[in-house]
């Protein structure tokens, strides 16, 4: 890595932008977003894993942006739904154009027949970093288990993390949005793992190129 490195966060999700920005702060001189490119790019995320999808996105953006690109992909695994649920399409399972509240209602309807342990789910997250069309780093990690609630509070909804509206954590007896800072850090273990992986890679890159 050289002086004046720029990183493009290949996401329009406000939650992911915030998370990644916090992780890479201090490693890059400038961070930009897709909107700063002044052009639109369509990426077909047709990989067979979250890691593949993150890599597809990172590579696509790195072919039109000369510096570093970071992309992520994630979704919730719902074993009880079997083939009725594709975790790789968590956001798009009822259509890309749908609103988040429609997604929430559809998921609750799908889960209505199930009770207790059947409602357990787990989140997965993946990240990839690319430059000039080449993947430099990628990793997929798992989070902790949660339970899909029977309902949700519309007032707690936040853009970019609609699934969290229905995630209940028995160990805290709370919905995701009711957790305090320390509890959030515990349940977002996937992001903590991603943080360690990314920062370890960036430190290695700096050493490799002789940067302080």
Dihedral of the alpha carbons of 3, 38, 20, 31, in degrees to the nearest 10: 20
Percent of the chain with pLDDT over 90: 78
Tell me the whole-structure pTM to 2 decimals: 0.89
Judge whether 179 lies within some domain: yes
Is residue 140 scored above 90 in pLDDT?
Answer: yes
Judged by DSSP in three states, 144 sits in: strand
What CATH number has the domain bearing residue 33?
3.90.950.10
Half-sphere exposure of 60 (CA within 13 A, CB side): 18
Query: How far is the C-alpha of 35 from the C-alpha of 181, rounded, in Å?
Result: 30
Q: What is the pLDDT of residue 4?
A: 57
Q: Quick: pLDDT tens for 155-167.
A: 999 988 999 999 9
Instruction: For residue 182, give its domain range.
Output: 6-208
Average pLDDT over residues 104-127: 96
Judge whether 163 lies within some domain: yes
Is residue 48 scored above 80 in pLDDT?
Answer: yes
Q: Quick: pLDDT tens for 62-110.
A: 999 999 999 999 999 999 999 999 999 887 787 777 889 999 999 999 9
Number of structural domains found in the chain: 1
pLDDT averaged over every residue in the chain: 92
Q: What is the pLDDT of residue 212?
A: 42
Question: Which of 90-99, 115-124, 131-140 shows the lowest mean pLDDT across its residues?
Answer: 90-99
Judge whether 1 lies within some domain: no
Percent of the chain with pLDDT over 70: 96
Q: What is the pLDDT of residue 166?
A: 96
Query: How far is the C-alpha of 190 from the C-alpha of 183, rounded, in Å?
Result: 13
Judge whether 64 lies within some domain: yes
Q: How far apart are the first and last CA of the chain?
A: 10
């Amino acid at each position: 890595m050289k002086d004046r490195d720029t990183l493009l966060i290949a996401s329009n999700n406000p939650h992911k932008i915030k998370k990644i920005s916090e992780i890479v702060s201090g490693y890059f001189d400038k961070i930009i977003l897709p909107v700063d490119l002044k052009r639109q790019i369509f990426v077909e995320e047709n990989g067979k894993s979250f890691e593949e999808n993150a890599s597809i996105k990172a590579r696509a953006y790195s072919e039109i942006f000369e510096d570093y690109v970071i992309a992520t992909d994630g979704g919730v695994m719902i074993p009880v739904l079997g083939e009725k649920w594709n975790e790789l399409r968590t956001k798009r399972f009822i259509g890309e154009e749908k609103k988040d509240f429609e997604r929430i209602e559809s998921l609750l309807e799908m889960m209505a027949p199930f009770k207790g342990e059947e409602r357990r789910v787990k989140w997965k997250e993946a990240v990839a970093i690319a430059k000039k069309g080449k993947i430099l780093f990628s990793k997929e990690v798992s989070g902790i288990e949660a339970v899909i609630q029977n309902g949700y509070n519309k007032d707690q909804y936040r853009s970019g993390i609609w699934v969290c509206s229905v995630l209940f954590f028995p160990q805290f007896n709370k919905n995701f949005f009711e957790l305090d800072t320390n509890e959030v850090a515990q349940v977002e273990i996937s992001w903590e793992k991603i943080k360690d992986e990314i920062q370890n890679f960036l430190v290695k890159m700096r050493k490799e190129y002789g940067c302080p």
